[in-house]
Amino acid sequence: MRLLFLGDVVGRSGRDVVIEHLPGLIRRYKLDFVVINGENSAGGFGITEAICDDLLAAGADAVTLGNHSWDQREALVFIERQPRLLRPLNYPAGTPGRGAGLYKARSGAEVLVINAMGRIFMPELDCPFRAIDKELDACPLGSGADVILVDFHAEATSEKEALGLYLDGRVSCVVGTHTHVPTGDDRVLPGGTAYMSDAGMCGDYNSVLGMVAEEPINRFLTRIPKGRMEPSLGEGTLSGLAVEIDPKTGLALNAKALRMGGVLRPSAIEFWEA
């Protein structure tokens, strides 16, 4: 089974590169399932219903969020009627929406997608480790779901690595989001779980994390905001993680970072090219 995860979509540049390349990637690689983190897709802050619909129309099977989930207030409402949009699982009880969803892949497999948020240098939420444990108790790999992907939206690489090893062998893939820079540690862990500390962003890398550089630089220099952060509108790069999954076990056979377009060095997925 072929799964693709795309990192944080930032602003128009991120949306454009996803909409341009994703349909072709699905056809070229015969992708079975696609997950996109969309929490920065609306001008860098949150997501709107129209943008969520565009990402789904481009080929996403599920869209995940993070600490900017509610920056667009309409998300509090439309997330209730959009089962393919997930917010972090470990938000307090009573938060609108859902943190996990079970979906049918094009191959027919049942795919459980879990969205969780870290706690180091992030808003204080419930423990993501224990929250994911509860979800896996209810829907374990093999008997409840054929494939399980976890989007861990977190700042600290230590927390991400700890969760990856904690879940190794129990889920198909743990991929980090939030820091907007792709890491070079894409691999399959000893127990068979695909892992990458951060998938990077889909957006303009000639920027500061997808934002026009002048205002972030000013804030570092002066500690005084001059204006609003605005998404950079240069050519976007598509960044994510490609995973080949054994349909018999639900564990990963191969995992590799995917980059297309923009300014980063492109990476091909050799195990899908044959």
Q: What's the burial of 137, exposed, middle or buried (CB within 10 Å: 0-12/13-18/19+)?
A: exposed
Is residue 180 annotated as part of the catalytic site, yes or no?
no
Sign of CA dihedral 129, 182, 111, 252: negative
Torsion of CA 12, 100, 69, 55, to 10 degrees: 20
Pair 141, 159: CB distance under 8 Å = no
The residues facing 4 across adjacent strands are 34, 242
50: which 2 tokens? 């129209």
Sign of CA dihedral 67, 188, 17, 98: negative
Distance from C-alpha of 12 to C-alpha of 60, rounded to nearest angstrom: 17
Sign of CA dihedral 211, 92, 98, 249: positive
Of 68, 153, 178, 180, catalytic: 68
> What residues are annotated to the active site?
68
